């Protein structure tokens, strides 16, 4: 199992030290999430290049792949940062997900054009801010596990993700589960619990 | 323009008196909304049979019809009471709407099966509780006016309609407007402002 | 896949009719959740005895069992009604879960006494009201999928389940997913998505 | 129909690229809303001068005008930024609105002095922060469509627009519809759905 | 100064005893607010007829009148119960208020028809539910003290009076003060602090 | 009556222009509240020195004084900025208030030491953040008008003033009225409505 | 240590059975809190008379007393039910508290009259609804442990105890601790943790 | 008893002056909490070196120690700043606490490894953000006084500490008391009330 370090609130040298300790004491992959520029520079200087996606870094990604088909679906392009965090988390577990971006429900035709990829997946992560409606629609289209991630994308009545979180919980699609706001890492871990 | 009386909090004899006064002083239609059984009995005893739909009553419905195509779409069967209130309100203005029920987004095929009726309408009222996702989907399918009504249908995280209200306001579909929770009367009036 | 009917807000004869239609048109199991006494009596009179658990009824339970080990864990005895809804939902999918009740974190020894059953399970449903802390603890004890259900058990600051829902989302255990307040049915469906 | 790009959260070069693609692939107007200074400079450098209003930019405004009388009414001068966004959105649809500013209900005489312009309009957009009372007053003065926009203007108990949003939904004027907080773009689109 | 007893949560015999003690130990007026039918019957049986208004009772009303002109203005007829509580409270202080009912801002002409009475008053109590807009309008029309009472009248987004309370605090009219939801008694006392 | 300009959100040159217009068109005092450093410098350069208190400026203060005894009481030293806004507002109306600072209820002896000043006042403004308890205590000590101002002082559970606002409305002292969070200007105007 | 059973949500026979089991398996005191009439009757019929206070019952109260001086202070008479729950909980631990009722801060003289009893106590439980100001005042008067219990007493802005809970946490008195809304049992246990 | 100064919102020279006055007028210890860098430099320059922990400074720490065993337990490393504030507050009272860090409930084995230290303590301060579950677990493990401090650590659904605060109040462990969000100072004072 990979080890994970959450960047915010830690000084660069603290990140260097914790990541270093995890690399030293174990043999698995080590993930640093939501790193800022200084943390990123300090850690790659100290521990060598990492696989980077969005604001996350991954050292010692597994070389073996889990044979599974996970699809990450986002409602808008602004949700991509969360998608990248989920994606890199999955890679830390040896899962190589594909991503379908910008298929929010207000443009249903774009979503329907990707229907086959979605319905054939072993599991789906749905990432959506604003009203979070995509989770309900995807939940109705597939019987596979669906993990929904509300994002803080949107303004005003989106209430920094609370509206999407509530909406996903009030979803009319049964069996959709939800993780915390912007928690791409959590969604990746949830899928890893299911598929590994 | 029709006159409207809101039932809750009024005693049956108060309803009888107010409705009577409106019938006497004007010549147009009179609408009593959210009447309970006693209010209904007292008012029909005093003022003659009314057109009834759900918990609303309409006296002196207009005999002329406005030539327009309004569609009321509901996400679930539990939203029908609000749909009936909207429908009778429209009839008080001489508009005869049609209703498409139970096409929530978790069963997208049922919605897509009614696509032509929705896209050809002059205006659409979308009535949905839970996460209210239907408003976003319909808003993306038609360029006609869309008035969304959040309902108090759903439990727990639906927060008695607040979640749907927030979600409809955070909607990713542009130009969808919203009225208050369970406010079928308001949605009907909004359409009447547009089409009459 | 089983068909499900949500009881609240429907008249007994509506329940009889919808359940009847589902039994007639399909061959799979039919689930009626949160039925009140009148709905229960009307439906069993019309459609024959059902398997009953808490306020839910199940007709035509699958005869084949899915070979899997699902454990439902509850924090208190007051959470059992939600556990029974989850359990019967799983049975509708052919899964026979076991239940570990009343192991809330304030009595950690009771939980630790059942540790083996929990860590060996293929998936765990955690049902807890009040502060919902059990989800975090279980999430840290097992790497299997964990679906958490906040319940409306508790008073005052429990805010009818909102506190537990927020707490489960803010959980320090990674990869725990959450369904809506009191939504045992949703938790069962989420597990079925994973294991069937 | 115009294409729209929402600025916040996008890098200047992303704005340049998306606006460029929309200009290239279509022939209609292209709107960039809530652009910051850098986005504005980058986009006008790349795509030529645009019509600017507040923080929005419009390329290829329609040359034909829709013959209609839309009035945008604001409660205070601080609401003007939202009014400009609504106004430029309408221009993208070929509608030339007029604006009546600073007629909040605490100075009723200023509002009454403009009564004729308001009651003769084909549709009214009401933009108000603080307690949002203007929507109720205007809604009672005209039978035309009224779209209300709550703004985040005000402090303390204004709760960044939530108070105005709730107040507009609780309005005692029937048939007033509401869009999201500060959503001038949405109000413009709603009017375009009605009048085009 | 009058003594006041708040009825809810007290048994009829408790009300009888507390009211009795206050009548015995003092010589001033005694007010019982929000009494239910049983409390009312028990107290009038024990202590003689009282002046009754809405759900409040007043014993030993002052015989001298304070020479002042207080106007209570309500937005709707449903606000009258709160108005009666405020009115009887004022009478306990020897103030005889007049009441202008049902002049909500959606029917501005009804309010303007009573303008003289409002602007000539020494103090005004404004009682309004829903969006509470009347407080802002009245606050702008008079320079006299204005005490606003939000009521729990309205449904859905009115949030049982919280919307009106917030709106009155976010009011664009300066110097309007607010008391608690449905607190007609508090409004009466506030005026008595000012005028006696 | 004084004219008032609210600084935040206005550019320095806008403040200069609005203040200038008010000075030109009237003869009374002009108040600029919550000015930042740039607004202050620009306005005093253009319009001459003003009386300054906290972040507010007053030009043409009345030369005549209203003969009245208003006391402003604050719970802590951090509430003084709001007190200064209230004080300068009163001076714009010709009222010279005195201030009693830092007498929060956790140090009851400090409050009791100033009892005579408080009970002899014609009106009291109570300014308190955190839990806002001072309003209830003062309300019980005097029968004069009490206007309470919740402040955003405090952290965490103080919820930026919402806790104090709610607490002041739930106060056990009758007839205390409340204005918006940090609204010293509103409190001053409320007193001016009472005493001028 | 006493055993405790929380009544609500349990059927009378369940209460009888759980209480019986606790009496049989231990030798200490057994407490049943918030029992309704039927639970009370069933349990006393089955297990003999109990010490009753408010809605709580205590069997096998300790015969030895802890020599300590605990004072329970309530703001109003409506807080007495919570006080009785706290008191009986303390008696289950062998502590005999005294109670000072109805000394809310709006009548400071009543509180000051009991000052000696409060300042000489070894620990104080403060029980208050509405704005909960009493906790801050008491916290400033004594250096002994103070446990505050917010109650759901009050209406409107009291938000069923949430206002008092927030206010107690935002208290300006340092070192006051808080338990849940109406949680007299919890307050009693907290004191027992301190003093036994 | 020590004197305490709360840093935020005060200018460095104000801190210098208040601390100086307290040092001059008394002989006990003086605590400055949540000082920023400038306040720290100014005060140590003026008043000599202080004991520093996190963002707090302590002058004239008591030389005598209270013989007691207080343990501060934190869920994560991010909670340490609050722990340091609590610790230095205790030292101001002559109590030398020990700290057990990073034993959040998702890693139950780390907590169980420190069980003896926790159960043998005279009092425990539990500091936890996110879902705050550690308070419930510790509360069940020891019968000694437990003061819980919710922290603003966590993101999204942690709601800046409100979730942990609510969760600690809804805790299933009886007799755990709670102080305000991030209020390490308050927790220290609460323990001092108990043990000194």
**Beta carbons of E123 and E194 less than 8 angstroms apart:** yes
Cβ <8 Å between F108 and G137: yes
- Give the confidence band of D192 by pLDDT, cuts at 50, 70, 90: very high
Pairing between strand H30-33 and A56-59?
Answer: unpaired
What pLDDT is attached to residue F3? Answer: 93
* Cβ A151 vs Cβ B170: under 8 Å: no
Q: Is the pLDDT of residue E176 over 90?
A: yes
Burial-class residue H62 by CB neighbours within 10 Å (0-12, 13-18, 19+).
middle
pLDDT of G112 higher than 90: yes
Q: What is the DSSP string of F105-163?
A: GGGHHHHHTTHHHHHT-SEEEEEE-TT-THHHHHHHH-SS-EEEEE-S-S-GGGGGGHH
Q: Where do the DSSP E strands lie in chain E?
A: 3-6, 30-33, 51-53, 56-59, 70-74, 98-100, 123-128, 146-150, 177-178
Of C78, C153, C155, the CB nearest to G182: C155
pLDDT at A24 over 80: yes
Q: Mean pLDDT throughout C144-162? A: 91
Task: Identify which of C78, C153, C156 has the shortest CB distance to residue G183.
Answer: C156
Residue F164 near chain H (CB below 8 Å):
no
Nearest-CA distance C37 → chain A (Å) = 25
- Contacts across the E-G interface (CB distance below 8 Å): 17
Q: Is H155–A9 a contact, with Cβ atoms under 8 angstroms apart?
A: no
Enumerate neighbours of G (3 or more CB pairs within 8 A): C, E, F, H
**Which pLDDT does position F129 carry in this prediction?**
93
What's the confidence (pLDDT) of residue D78? 86
So what's the pLDDT on residue C77? 84
pLDDT of residue B32: 97
Mean pLDDT of chain H: 94
pLDDT score recorded for residue G192: 97
Q: Residues D97-112: what's their mean pLDDT?
A: 95
What pLDDT was estimated at residue A183?
Answer: 95
CA angle in degrees (0–180, nearest 5) for E189-E194-E196: 85
Burial of E45 (0-12, 13-18, 19+ CB in 10 A): exposed
Mean pLDDT value of segment D136-151: 97
Contacts of H8 (CB under 8 A, 6+ apart): F155, H34, H36
DSSP for residue D161: G
Q: What percent of chain G has pLDDT over 70?
A: 100
Nearest chain A residue to D151, by CA: A156
Percent of chain C with pLDDT over 70: 100
pLDDT tens, G28-84? Answer: 999 999 999 999 999 999 999 999 998 999 999 999 899 999 999 999 988 999 999
Whether chain F has a CB inside 8 Å of the CB on E194: the answer is yes
Residue-level pLDDT at D45: 97
Query: With 80 as the cut, is the pLDDT of residue G195 above it?
Result: yes
Low-confidence ranges of chain B (pLDDT < 50): none
Residue with tokens 């005028």: E195
Q: Say which residue the tokens 């009753």 belong to.
A: G52
**In angstroms, what separates the C-alpha of D2 from chain B's closest C-alpha?**
12
Q: How confident is the model at residue H9 (pLDDT cuts 50, 70, 90)?
A: confident
Touch test B–G: 3 Cβ pairs or more under 8 Å:
no
Closest CA to A18 of A46, A56, A60, A55: A46
Q: Which of G78, G153, G155 sits opposite E182 (nearest CB)?
A: G155
For F88-136, write each residue's pLDDT tens digit.
Answer: 999 999 999 999 999 999 999 999 999 999 999 999 999 999 989 999 9
> Which residues from chain F sit within 8 angstroms of residue G132, using beta carbons?
131, 133, 167
- Is the pLDDT assigned to residue A155 strictly greater than 80? no
Residues in chain E within 8 Å Cβ distance of G78: 9
In angstroms, the CA B74 to CA B82 distance is: 9
pLDDT in the model for residue E66:
92
The burial class, CB within 10 Å (0-12 / 13-18 / 19+), for C20 is middle
If you average pLDDT over residues F27-47, what whole number do you get?
96
**What's the CA gap between D154 and F182, in Å, rounded?**
12
Q: What is the pLDDT of residue G142?
A: 97
Touch of D by A (3+ CB pairs closer than 8 Å): yes
Q: Which chain A residues have a beta carbon less than 8 Å from that of C132?
A: none
Residue D9 scores a pLDDT above 90: no
Q: Are A80 and A53 in contact (CB under 8 A)?
A: no
- Nearest residue in chain B measured CA to CA from A143: B106
DSSP SS3 for D74: strand
The partner residue sitting opposite C158, judged by closest CB among H75, H108, H170, is H170
F113-124 pLDDT per residue, tens: 999 999 999 999
Residue C156 contacts G, CB cutoff 8 Å: yes
CA atoms of D152 and D170, how far apart (whole Å): 18
Q: Are residues D131 and E172, on separate chains, in Cβ contact within 8 Å?
A: yes
Average pLDDT over chain G, rounded to an integer: 94
Cα separation, A137 vs H53, whole angstroms: 52
Shortest alpha-carbon distance between residue G170 and chain E (Å): 20
> In this complex, which of A8, A9, A180 lies closest to H157 when CB atoms are compared?
A180
pLDDT, position E34? 94
To the nearest whole angstrom, how far is the Cα of E75 from the nearest Cα of chain B? 15
Residue G176 C-alpha from the chain's centroid: 16
pLDDT of D187 > 90? The answer is yes
- pLDDT, one tens digit per residue, over E66-96 is 999 999 999 988 899 999 999 999 999 999 9
Q: Which of C78, C153, C157 sits opposite G181 (nearest CB)?
A: C157
What proportion of chain H, given as a percentage, has pLDDT over 90? 86
Q: How many residues does chain B have?
A: 196
* pLDDT for residue G113 is more than 90: yes
User: What pLDDT shows up at residue B156?
Assistant: 78
G182 touches chain C (CB under 8 A): yes
F135 vs F150: CA distance, rounded Å? 9
């Amino acid at each position: 199992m990979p080890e994970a370090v959450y960047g915010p609130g830690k000084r660069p040298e603290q990140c260097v030290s914790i990541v270093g300790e995890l690399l030293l004491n174990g043999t698995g992959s080590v993930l640093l999430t939501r790193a800022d520029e200084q943390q990123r520079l300090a850690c790659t200087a100290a521990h060598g290049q990492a696989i980077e996606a969005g604001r996350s870094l991954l050292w010692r990604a597994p070389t073996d792949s889990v044979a599974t088909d996970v699809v990450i679906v986002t409602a808008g392009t602004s949700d991509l940062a969360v998608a990248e965090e989920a994606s890199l988390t999955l890679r830390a577990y040896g899962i190589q997900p594909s991503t379908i971006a910008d298929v929010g429900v207000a443009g249903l035709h774009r979503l329907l054009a990707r229907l086959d990829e979605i319905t054939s997946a072993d599991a789906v992560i749905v990432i959506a801010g604003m009203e979070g409606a995509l989770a309900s629609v995807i939940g109705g289209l597939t019987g596979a596990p669906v993990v929904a991630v509300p994002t803080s994308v949107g303004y005003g009545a989106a209430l920094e993700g609370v509206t999407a979180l509530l909406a996903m919980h009030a979803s009319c699609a049964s069996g959709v589960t939800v993780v915390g706001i912007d928690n791409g890492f959590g969604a990746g871990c949830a899928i890893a619990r299911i598929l590994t």
